[in-house]
Structure formats: structure tokens, C-alpha cells
Structure 1
């Protein structure tokens, strides 16, 4: 079993508190993504698990065993770094088998594992090359293969795709997810990219300023954000926040309080072309200022009640600058936030 438990973790660098009372449980075989802006503590949390950073307080358990004082090389986990960390003087085959060699595994078993993983990652034809002869995507596959070859119960990823171009990132996301589904390893993946988080994770833990703000499935995080930070960080483009008279028209008692903010995803607006259903609310006229073509969709930039609002709609719909269009929302997909606390009032 490779279930992982973080209990009351705290970590500081000088006067800067990086992790603040972190509590999190990760199930055996789960793919958990740690996501958040730069400096939120996600990589530090991963490095404490790997043994590369010591804790100020708290405990880490793997499979029910406390590993706080276990040396990094004895923690039975593998790590894939952003920088690939390949040995330049070694071939691909030697890089992938080096960790196994240090474990005193037989040469025949090393050769067998490297061959299996190379075939899985489609890099068998690269085994005799050195890192300088490889593309960025190929180097990342080698780094991934080195981790997989160790067959550890836990594999850690520290922003492994950030150095790749957009096409390769998409390809590698799919490959890593497929590898997880075909393995029994527990995987923890650190990224600042919310697209990676929502497409790869079984669950997501969203961090901000050393605190876990919310943990849940990608669907839960997207549709039921606990606060305005999560609503704006998860989703591209981010959620629209609307204040003022529009909020007071909402049929919710909480909406009549001061400092309330309506939150609506860009794709949740509809054009008001007919009768309203019981769960719909007309918001008035939307003034189109600009349209961006996204392929099958377009993103409109405009004003609603004098406030900037983005709406995603079909790219075949035609709009002109200055055009006024009546819009409505489905109240079941709308959110109400307290501006002072940032908390979602409708959960």
C-alpha cells in the first residue's frame, strides 16, 4: 500500500512561512495534483515528501509508516524533475538503468526493465544516444522512464512539462495519465498550470500562500469553488465577477446583504431569445466590444451593467462592435461570493 498522509505540516525558510498546517490524505494508487501560483508551497510540499526538505513540525506517513527521519534514498519513491536531471555522459539506456544499478539489481533485470519501459514510452530507438542528441520531449520521456523503471509505489512530478512546447505538453499529459492508469503507483504531480491539473488529476489540491484552499475532483473544483481565488484560478478564462444592482436582483436571501458578488463562468451565459425557465434570470443587455475566435467557439469581451464580462459562445454566431444583446443565466450554475471573505455563499 502506498497511501500518503500529511499531518499538521509546517515549513519556514527564515521568517517566511512556506507551509502552514498542511493536512492531506492521498489514497493508494491515486493521481493527485498540487496546483497553485508560484510561491504557494506546492513544490516545497513535494520535496518534504521526497526528503529533500526537512519539516519544522508535522508528520508524513507512507503506507502507515512515519518517514520523517528516513533518508531520501530509502523512501522508496521516484521523482521526475522539471530540469530532467539526466547525466550528460551516459546514454539513454545507462540513464534509465542508473538508479537500478545503485540498488544492486542484476544487469539482466536492469536490461529487462529498461527495455520494457523504453518500448512503453516509444524510445527504444534512442537507447544508445546521449541527452544532447535528444529533443526536449525525448529527454522528458527518458526522465519519466528512469522513474518508472524503479517500479516504486510512489512517483513524484515537479512541473515536468513546463519546458516543453504546447503540442508536446498535450502529448505528454496524455502519456503520463495513460501510464498511471496502467500502473499501481501513487502519483503526485505539481504544476502551476490549471489545464494540466484539471485534465490529469483524480483529485486536485489547490494551494495559496502555504495553505490548502480546497481539495476535490476537477469537476467539483470547477463547478463548486469554495472561494473567489479558486473560482478565478481554476478555469480559463476565469470566472466573471459582477457587483452592484445585478446582484440585488438575484432571488437569494444572501444576495441582499452588502458586499456580495455574483460569479458566472463565461460559458454559463445564454442569449435571452425567449421565455425564461424557473431557474433562469435575465440580466439585461450585454454590449459587445470585441470578439476573439477560438475555433469552434468565440469569446466575447463586453460590458454588462457597466462591468467587464467575458462570454463564450458558438463561433458561428455573428456580433458587431457596440451591439446590445439581452443575456440570461442559469441560476443553478451561478455563484454568490462574499467580497470581504471571498467565500462562496451558495455551497
Structure 2
């Protein structure tokens, strides 16, 4: 699925690693992601007309002309978000207006804590997402990833600085196919990878619910289609094939240091017969953030040893 690379794309952009993507929009290019970021940007800077116009046009009956009128009237009131309460929106947007004004006032408050802001914005945006976009459930998963990602940043300002409405060229926004001497990473959905091969292939999220998709559960014909896609993915590698099966999936809406998670189950396609031809390697993150040696599962902290050393 195109959404499986969401967090990877963000990290590649942060580190300045160029990439191209086949199949689906890049994460930061998706309209629903831009919508939610625009809401946060307007709360962060009331004079951000680009973000404000995008948010206003999420409301029914609020087109570009009405949005411009609201912004012009707001500019005459020094751009204070609290002044929105005194403005009269179009009739079709009237039912949604108070909730938007309340949300902006809450997010723009100087002492509003950063943890939870993205989740609060996502809750307001959910009914508009369902009204404006198809496949709202899948798109909602993207926004959950964005919520989880926000927990890794200490402040809203830092978060929005890293994630621009228009991603930089270093994130893979290339004008054409890269030159032969350029080093770049290729991200691709399985469907888009048909007929293509690479020296090394990394297959993400080889767990039930992702591979096969949760939407294929309970229907044999869909499971068989997922199995065929799995075969396509495995056969794209010419030399090296690496399968990643995460053991834990962290819940959204928690503190950046939160540890609330659920466990993932290995894909049903990774049968014992398949695993007999695979070198199984485990890796954990050691204290300090660096991966430990493959195959060595070391504890992050030996509390018992620390206590014994105190006496």
C-alpha cells in the first residue's frame, strides 16, 4: 500500500535523502494531509493567508470568493482569530462555523500544550474528510500516522518547520527521471512494481492486516489476490530481499515518550516452508538510539543491576 511508506518518506525528507515514488501520491502531497497541516499552520500564524484559505474552503458553501471575503474582513481586524466569532459565514457553512472558531481559538492560545493538538485537529477534520474524499478510511490511516509522527517533535513550531505544505525538492520532487550518476531511493507499491526489478528490495510491514490487507480478510478470492501480490513483491529482487515484520505498532494520541502499543502478527504468507529459506534476524534499539547487533536482543535498561550497584 502507498500509505505504508508515510513515516519513511518524512524521515527521508528530514535527512535530505532524495527519492522517487511510483504508485500513489507522496505522503506530504496528499490533499487530506495538506488540509490538516494547513489548519495547524493557520493556528500557528493567523496571517498565513494560504493556509487560512485552504481551511475555510473545507467548509460547505465556502468557495474561493467567500474565503477571500472572510480573510479581507479578518485582515481589517488585525488578523485576530478571535474576531472570527463576529463574522457571518455563508448559510451552508453556518453549522460548522462555531466548531472551527472554537478549535482555532484553542490551538492559538499561548498556553495550549502541544501534545494532543494534532489529534484535536484530526477529530474536527474527520467529518469533512468523509464528505470531501473517497476512501476516507484509508486516508484516515494517513492522518493517524501524522498524529503519531507529531509526537516525535517537542513543539508545534518545530513540527511545522519540518513539514512544509509544499515539500522541498530534496524530498524527491524531481522535475524528471534522475540522471544515471544520481544516487536516490525508489519507493513503489507492489502494483506499480510489476515488470520491474532492483538489485535490493525492502518489503515493509509483512504482517497480517498489512500483508495481506485487513480488507481481504474472510474472502478467499481476495486473499488469493493478496498472495499473488506477495509473490510479485518477492520476485522484484535480483540479489537481496529483506522482509520487515514489525513486532509492535504504537498507538496514536499519546505523549512523544509514550509506550502504548499493540503487537503485530507475522503475515500468514510467511509459512514455515517460506521461513526455511529465510535468514531470521532480530534488531532492537539500544539505549542511545542506535540499533543493537543483529540477532542480539539486549534489554534497554537493567533496572535490577542498577539497584544492586547502589548498595
Q: Calculate the TM-score normalised by the size of structure 1.
A: 0.28
Q: Calculate the TM-score normalised by the size of structure 2.
A: 0.30
Query: Quick one: higher RCO (CA 8 Å, sep 6+), 1 or 2?
Result: 2
**Relative to total residues, which structure has the larger strand share, 1 or 2?**
1
**Relative to total residues, which structure has the larger helix share, 1 or 2?**
2
Looking at CA atoms only, which structure, 1 or 2, has the larger radius of gyration? 1
